[in-house]
Chains A and B, each alone.
Chain A
Amino acid sequence: MEKILITLNINDKPCEVMVYPNDTLLEVLRDELDLTGSKESCGEGVCGSCTIHMDDKPVRSCLTLAMEATGTKIKTVEGLAKGDELSSLQQSFVDHGAVQCGFCTPGMLMSADALLKINSKPDEKTVRKAIAGNICRCTGYTKIVKAVAHAGNSQDHCPDCITFSKAKE
């Protein structure tokens, strides 16, 4: 099998990379482009740890061939923050204690971010459905669900939102 030169648009930057036709997007991101934020946990599209965005839609990068991604806009967890400034969703994950071991976190953030793009104030039930394809073994999901539902605004009934809004003042 021969390697082929392709161009991928990742986090708003064009990247030229040599790939085998059977390389998955996840392999290319991790092994060729050093974007190791996207994780492999199950390798069969079940756990959601490798979730990235292709044209703003959440996609399993372990089931996507790198060559399929040419001509699309790819975003990975590394593209969520603006420099050192976390996105409101990332900050909400930190403030709500939604991160424990952190291995599922990148994929979880990408699924949640895709939801927030189409629904900026989702209720908890909607969040649970949107992240149903992301397995977290540590948190029991409660704090993740709150972090996503409250990413856009601080909410009085949530003790962590209160801490956060006070800290910001």
Chain B
Amino acid sequence: MSDYAIIGKRMPRVDSRAKVMGKAKFTADLKLPGMLVGKIKRSPYAHARILNIDTSKAEALPGVKSVVTGKDTEGVKWGVFAYTRDQEFIQTQKVRYIGDEVAGVAAVDEETALKALDLIEVTYEELPAVFDSMEAMASETELIHGDFPNNINVHVNIDTGNVDENFKKAHYIREDTFVAPEESYFQAEPYAIVARFDHEDCLEIWCPNGGPHMKSKPLSNAFKIPLHKVKVRKIAIGGAFGGRSEICPVDYICALLAKKTKKPVRIQFTREENTIATRQGHAMITTHKTGVDKDGRVLARETTCYMDGGAYSSTGPIATSVPFLSMEQAYRMGSVRYNGYRIYTNKPIRGMIRTHGRGFAAGLDTQLDMIAEHIGIDPVEIRLRNSRQPGEYTSTKSYVDSCAMDETIHKAVEKSRFKEKWGKLPPLHGIGIGTNSVQTGFPMGIRGGSQSFIKFNEDGEATVMSGVVDNGQGNDNMLVQIAAEELGLLPEDIHLVSADTETTSSDPGSYSQVSTFVGGHAVKIAAQNCRAKLFKVASKVLKVSPDKLVAQNRLIFVRDDPEKSIPIKKVVRISLLNFNSVNAEGGYWPKVDMKREWVKNPYGQMCEAFSFGTTIVEVKVDPNTGQVEVLEATAAQDVGYALNPLVLEGQFEGSIAMGGQGGMLTEYHEWNGGRCINPTMLDYKLPLACDMPPKINNIIVESVDPKGPYGAKEAGMSIAMSAAQAYSAAVSNAIGVYMDSFPLTPDKILAAIKSKES
């Protein structure tokens, strides 16, 4: 595999130069002629009926150009699936959380827009509100959405059969409940939108997104205009982490204001709005019941999870499934029954997040450690006895092709010296291991595939078009690396046109970890098709058959006689003189089971590949303050094949920070009724440079997936997901108490130490 010129190399990213110079443009940096400032009027109540909205005073304020309410919309509701369309873009009947959109204003400046918000008079009839999932299910007051009894939004039921029978055969059974509150993304860039309608009545819109094509379709539905009239433009994106996957109602409101005023409108979220009114992670209460044989092999498992979904469906069916799927991919479960309930509450909307199900996963791994202790084996051994193996099917009938789960465990154990340290560390020192698996893609119907177009310019350089978006993880560089490798060019010869819905074909977006596997694959195929055209021309000049040619370093040469060569630029020009342009297309559609559906039929091939990860951390707990110091972290992931180790390491390290350091030690939201009282960076504790472990060992494991481009799968998510488990296991090991409430804040740690002493 080592004969690649560009793939597999530690290549600095193509987008970093503009970023270090301050030249990269993010949405809030855009300035268009005549641009207005937009602001959103939000609900002050968690649950209330809207009786009347009077915008007359706001409209009369000098400088105000437009005020829009739900009456100005086409009445289309948003939901990821046809059966979850429960959210009006601007509420007309009811508000369901503090922050729900009620009206929008466009004005000449921010001050005027803010004044206008105060002049909009909304009359509400306050309704009883519910703020946690258990309370919401039992509530006898008005339902949050009338057609969902007990406020149950989504129920995912998975049952492989034989669960009760296998529990009867078990040598040892445990049932434990684990809880974790909501967390937030805190992307560095607060959400922002710029929208305008051009001279052909096309909507042109810039905003952070997890997939431009996932924005354009709902916008075309909302405005009832054809898809080609919605042009989602490429823009630098300051992080997503799953939180920018769907359309945000304010995308529509901003565009509506632009339509009404016939001017560009920019809306910039405050940090508080970014926390409250985009998405959050779900709070979860998870009960795992596990039965094992005398060797610790899982025979049966029953998991029930209640997720606080907030006011609307969002990605509900996916969100209710993914925590379970990650664990059923990581571990063999014998037989399993899963019931996941996503419950509506009068809180902000919950969606997908990079660390989705931290309490779910940490609970499952914590319970494995408890079982291991009971039967007298160590945490590594019990994982190896239950870990996923290549060539198996998951409980929900997905075939697992490439899988180096065991190798990630072995390598992480060796590097961290887990075996030497386990049980031998001084008091209040601990070491813990977590493992996880993440799917590379979801079944996404007609939007599951990606297509790329490549054209050669007469100077021998190439333009590559792809719908793949870069949220910051390095997708642009990935596409350039692949194109340069296949076309025989240098990265600087590739001009990338991406994430623009006018010029690029449909693409599934970046949030199911599928950008490399599907989008990168499409570019690879397009580039190979393009190269075949070059070879056809070059073979006539060099008088050898095309299959003997190699393209590298801007040259096409004969494999066995490298002196015999011709510059690619010359081949392009020869081709043009012969009335043939050098361009090509390529596409990739993963072979998934299209009949698989999150709720109705959660069985069948989920995606073509799965990544597997192991994290081990070593900690020291201060018994007086409850503070945790992380001494070292080791992250090992089966990524399939490392296209760029430099970028991969960055994903691993960032995953340790978000999944482990923040996700397990400090990050959670606090509430007063439905009001989030820590929506800012001052109050919500994100990891800082000085908090992070001084050493992170990155171990890249390559199983070379037979279907992935160059064997590549997904990078980083299995670390983000397993880091939480490793952190919780290490702290539990240090204090000698298995923790069941996350994150592990100092007060909980001190209480646990105290409970043990008494």
Is this pair of chains taken from one and the same complex? Answer: yes
Contact B21 A101 (CB under 8 A): no
Interface check B126, CB cutoff 8 A: no
Contact A86 B237 (CB under 8 A): no
**Contact string against B for A residues 1-14, beta-carbon threshold 8 Å, 1 for contact and 0 otherwise:** 00000000000000
* Given A137-B187, A142-B653, A102 and B696 contact (CB-CB distance below 8 Å): no
**Contact string against A for B residues 417-431, beta-carbon threshold 8 Å, 1 for contact and 0 otherwise:** 000000000000000
Contact A135 B688 (CB under 8 A): yes
Interface check A28, CB cutoff 8 A: no
CA distance A135 to B238 in the complex (A): 12
Contact B694 A99 (CB under 8 A): no
Contact A105 B271 (CB under 8 A): no
Contact B653 A137 (CB under 8 A): no
Contact B238 A101 (CB under 8 A): yes
Contact B190 A139 (CB under 8 A): no
| Chain B interface mostly | loop
Contact B238 A37 (CB under 8 A): no
CA distance A81 to B688 in the complex (A): 27
Smallest CB separation, A111 vs chain B (Å): 10
Among B89-97, B279-287, B537-545, B642-650, the stretch in contact with A = B642-650
* Given A104-B188, A138-B650, A159-B10, A86 and B20 contact (CB-CB distance below 8 Å): yes
- List residues of chain A with CB within 8 A of the CB of B661: 140
A-contacting residues, B673-687, CB 8 Å: 680-682, 686-687
B-contacting residues, A3-37, CB 8 Å: 30, 34-37
Smallest CB separation, A148 vs chain B (Å): 10
A-contacting residues, B1-41, CB 8 Å: 10, 12-13, 15-17, 19-26, 28-29, 31
CA distance A13 to B188 in the complex (A): 30
Contact B188 A137 (CB under 8 A): yes
Interface check B603, CB cutoff 8 A: no
Contact A97 B646 (CB under 8 A): yes
Contact B654 A100 (CB under 8 A): yes
- List residues of chain A with CB within 8 A of the CB of B688: 132-133, 135, 141
CA distance A41 to B649 in the complex (A): 25
Contact A37 B23 (CB under 8 A): yes
**Contact string against B for A residues 131-169, beta-carbon threshold 8 Å, 1 for contact and 0 otherwise:** 111111111111111000000000000011001000000
In the complex, which residue of chain A has the Cβ closest to the Cβ of B682? A46
Among B392-400, B469-477, B519-527, B612-620, the stretch in contact with A = B469-477
Q: Which of A43, A109, A131, A145 makes the CB contact (< 8 A) with B20? A: A109
In the complex, which residue of chain A has the Cβ closest to the Cβ of B25? A36
- List residues of chain B with CB within 8 A of the CB of A101: 187-189, 236-239, 471-472
- List residues of chain B with CB within 8 A of the CB of A44: 271, 680-682
Contact B21 A86 (CB under 8 A): yes
Contact A81 B21 (CB under 8 A): yes
* Given A38-B22, A90-B20, A97-B646, A43 and B270 contact (CB-CB distance below 8 Å): yes
CA distance A140 to B238 in the complex (A): 15
Contact A41 B646 (CB under 8 A): no
Interface check B152, CB cutoff 8 A: no
Interface check A124, CB cutoff 8 A: yes
Q: Which of A81, A93, A134, A141 makes the CB contact (< 8 A) with B16? A: A93
In the complex, which residue of chain B has the Cβ closest to the Cβ of A97? B646
- List residues of chain B with CB within 8 A of the CB of A74: none
User: By CB atoms of chain A within 10 A, which of B15, B21, B474 has the most?
Assistant: B21
Contact A94 B689 (CB under 8 A): no
Contact B692 A141 (CB under 8 A): yes
Contact A143 B649 (CB under 8 A): yes
Contact A103 B21 (CB under 8 A): no
- List residues of chain A with CB within 8 A of the CB of B189: 39, 41, 101, 103
- List residues of chain A with CB within 8 A of the CB of B654: 100, 137-140
CA distance A149 to B12 in the complex (A): 18
Interface check A77, CB cutoff 8 A: yes
Smallest CB separation, A144 vs chain B (Å): 7
CA distance A81 to B21 in the complex (A): 7
- List residues of chain B with CB within 8 A of the CB of A132: 688-690
**Contact string against B for A residues 39-61, beta-carbon threshold 8 Å, 1 for contact and 0 otherwise:** 11111101101000000000000
CA distance A102 to B690 in the complex (A): 20
- List residues of chain A with CB within 8 A of the CB of B655: 140
CA distance A109 to B621 in the complex (A): 33
**Contact string against A for B residues 233-255, beta-carbon threshold 8 Å, 1 for contact and 0 otherwise:** 00011110100000000000000
Smallest CB separation, A80 vs chain B (Å): 8
Smallest CB separation, A12 vs chain B (Å): 16
- List residues of chain A with CB within 8 A of the CB of B13: 94, 97, 99
Contact A103 B26 (CB under 8 A): yes
Contact A128 B649 (CB under 8 A): no
CA distance A144 to B270 in the complex (A): 27
Contact B188 A97 (CB under 8 A): no
User: By CB atoms of chain B within 10 A, which of A38, A97, A144 has the most?
Assistant: A97
- List residues of chain B with CB within 8 A of the CB of A41: 188-190, 238, 271, 681
In the complex, which residue of chain B has the Cβ closest to the Cβ of A87? B20
Q: Would you give 15 A-B contacts (Cβ < 8 Å), ordered by A?
A: A37-B22, A42-B271, A44-B271, A77-B20, A77-B21, A97-B12, A103-B239, A133-B688, A135-B186, A137-B188, A139-B657, A140-B696, A141-B653, A142-B649, A142-B653
Query: Nearest 10 pairs between A and B by C-beta?
Result: A37-B22, A101-B472, A102-B19, A103-B238, A140-B653, A140-B657, A77-B22, A103-B188, A36-B29, A99-B16
Supplied contacts A41-B681, A129-B690, 8 more A-B pairs, CB within 8 Å: A39-B188, A41-B189, A42-B682, A43-B270, A93-B20, A99-B19, A140-B661, A159-B10
